[in-house]
A and B are shown apart, each in its own frame.
Chain A
Amino acid sequence: MHMFLTIFAGVPTTLLITVASLALGMLGGIPLVLGRRSRFRALRMVSRFLIETLRGIPPLVWLFLIFFGFGSSMTWMTALMASIFGLGLISCAYMAEIYRGGLSAISAGQWEAAEALGMNHRSVLSKVIGPQVFRVSIPAAATYGIGLLKDSSVAFTIGVTDILFRATAQSYQTRDALTPFLIAGLVYIIITIPSAWGSRWLDARLKNRVAR
């Protein structure tokens, strides 16, 4: 029981990394997807390059690059900050692709109706298209978020005291290579399953209100 509580104490850190980097991704994905669909070829190329680079390099490599690479000259950067920043960057790319899928699900008639009303591009995006894209992106974003929660365990490699870090420490201490990791698995399940329920509930609620 003591072991369980010790490992469980890593939950806030794991959640913080997940939620903060997902939030970064949800924000940063917006300019990326807008760039990806821009009228300007150069902007499209740059955005595409960024997205491919962010996604193409494994999270672990990103964390090492940021924490050991750039972090060595930025002494104020903690391991926690580096992991949020690294996973946040990757999330930007994935969220941009999720938004792109959402955008293509919005019918041309929505753009036309808003344009015919004389609304400028900015209003059309922020008031008509954007909210609908967010709405249709929820299931994919939730799936990504749950994946991110599990992937956040790479943060232990740079010393963030998340669930896995604590499980590893317990395993060294007790010389038990099985129980701490079984507990870690259980703790991850305890968070991921309600998250999946929550996202399904949110999706159903919105669908119910705005039947498509």
Chain B
Amino acid sequence: MTQSAQNKKPVIHLQNVSKRFGANTVVDDVTLTVGEGEVAAIIGPSGAGKSTLLRCINLLERPDSGCITVCDTLVNAGEQIGAKELALLRRNAGMVFQSFNLFPHLTVLRNVSLAQERVLGRGRKEADEVSATLLDRVGLADKADEYPNRCSGGQQQRIAIARALALEPKVMLFDEPTSALDPELGLEVLAVMKELAVEGMTMVVVTHEMQFARDVGDHLIVMAEGAILEEGPPEEIFSAPRHGRTRQFLSAVLER
């Protein structure tokens, strides 16, 4: 646990979480705490289990063992997960995917509105108003009536962020949000994420953007082979990695 996480109220807590696919242990006994307002960046070589760990937080992957707490919702992997708990946990955790996953049959505005109506029970008019405000916030007010496939990748990812924010989550999970984008388009997504971080949103970001992890993140988590190699303030780890595997990974991504 890092210094900053100890001082702040924990928003996410994972206790001994493991996930296996067949004989393959993808997440191996991970314990992790993310405090309120913290921006946690998870880095590491591909196949390290970063995305799977992130997807365990909102239970898109059901862990085989361990406990997961998001805000005040506790889920134990050993027990049957109730629909109510699941809904509550997911309401507090917004997620942004590498491949955006916008709903192609709905306009941009309706993409952002749908879950508000279905999950929060807002009326259509109220939901659309909130959506318009959020689209404005990510700089896409003029795209409201377009269909997602008419938008660039960077725009689609910003719409996906607005869609997740529409449920007023307490924490945002980002699964390689810029990996499917050209470097330039990735920048506009990173700018929106940076703004969110500045506003105090708790974020967990699986990323290969080292610059972002270093500048915006305040909690760096290095994973390899399903386990956390080391974690702490990004500056410390970037300048003096304790672990040989971390050093090897960092030199591979930074010195190219």
* Chain A residues proximal to chain B, CB less than 8 Å: 107, 109-110, 112-120, 123, 127-128, 131-132, 135, 209-212
Contact of B104 among A115, A120, A212 (CB under 8 A): A212
* Residues of A close to B94: CB separation below 8 A: 116-117
Q: How far is the CA of A127 from the CA of B104 in the complex (A)?
A: 12
Cβ proximity bits B57-100 to A, threshold 8 Å, 1 near / 0 not:
01010000000000000000000000100010011011101010
Contact of B90 among A110, A118, A132, A211 (CB under 8 A): A118
Q: Are B164 and A117 in contact (CB under 8 A)?
A: yes
The 10 A-B residue pairs with the shortest CB-CB distance, nearest first, are A113-B101, A118-B90, A117-B115, A109-B101, A116-B95, A123-B118, A211-B149, A118-B91, A118-B119, A131-B105
List residues 149-170 of chain B with CB under 8 A from any CB of chain A: 149-150, 160, 163-164, 167
Q: Are A112 and B97 in contact (CB under 8 A)?
A: yes
Q: Are B90 and A113 in contact (CB under 8 A)?
A: no
Cβ proximity bits B106-119 to A, threshold 8 Å, 1 near / 0 not:
00000000110011
Q: Residue of A at shortest CB range from B83?
A: A120
Q: How far is the CB of A155 from chain B (nearest CB, A)?
A: 36
Q: Residue of A at shortest CB range from B87?
A: A118
* Chain B residues proximal to chain A, CB less than 8 Å: 58, 60, 83, 87, 90-91, 93-95, 97, 99, 101-105, 114-115, 118-119, 147, 149-150, 160, 163-164, 167
Q: How far is the CB of A201 from chain B (nearest CB, A)?
A: 19
* Residues of B close to A210: CB separation below 8 A: 104-105, 147, 149
Q: How far is the CA of A209 from the CA of B145 in the complex (A)?
A: 12
With contact pairs A209-B147, A210-B149, A212-B149 given, residues A119 and B101 touching in the complex (Cβ less than 8 Å): no
Contact of A117 among B90, B104, B150 (CB under 8 A): B90
Q: Are A115 and B90 in contact (CB under 8 A)?
A: yes
Q: Are B97 and A117 in contact (CB under 8 A)?
A: no
Q: How far is the CB of B58 from chain A (nearest CB, A)?
A: 6
Q: How far is the CA of A8 from the CA of B123 in the complex (A)?
A: 51
Q: How far is the CA of A131 from the CA of B147 in the complex (A)?
A: 15
Q: How far is the CB of A79 from chain B (nearest CB, A)?
A: 40
Q: How far is the CB of A106 from chain B (nearest CB, A)?
A: 10
Q: Are B101 and A110 in contact (CB under 8 A)?
A: yes
Q: Are A135 and B105 in contact (CB under 8 A)?
A: yes
Q: How far is the CA of A13 from the CA of B119 in the complex (A)?
A: 46
Chosen A-B contacts, 22 in total, with CB atoms closer than 8 Å, are: A110-B101, A112-B101, A113-B95, A113-B101, A116-B60, A117-B90, A117-B115, A117-B163, A117-B164, A118-B90, A119-B118, A119-B119, A120-B83, A120-B118, A123-B118, A127-B114, A127-B118, A128-B114, A135-B105, A209-B147, A211-B149, A211-B150
Q: How far is the CA of A107 from the CA of B104 in the complex (A)?
A: 11
* Residues of A close to B104: CB separation below 8 A: 132, 210, 212
Q: Are A109 and B149 in contact (CB under 8 A)?
A: no
Q: Residue of B at shortest CB range from A135?
A: B105
Q: How far is the CB of B197 from chain A (nearest CB, A)?
A: 20
* Residues of B close to A209: CB separation below 8 A: 147
Q: Are B167 and A118 in contact (CB under 8 A)?
A: yes
Q: Residue of B at shortest CB range from A211?
A: B149
Q: How far is the CB of A192 from chain B (nearest CB, A)?
A: 29
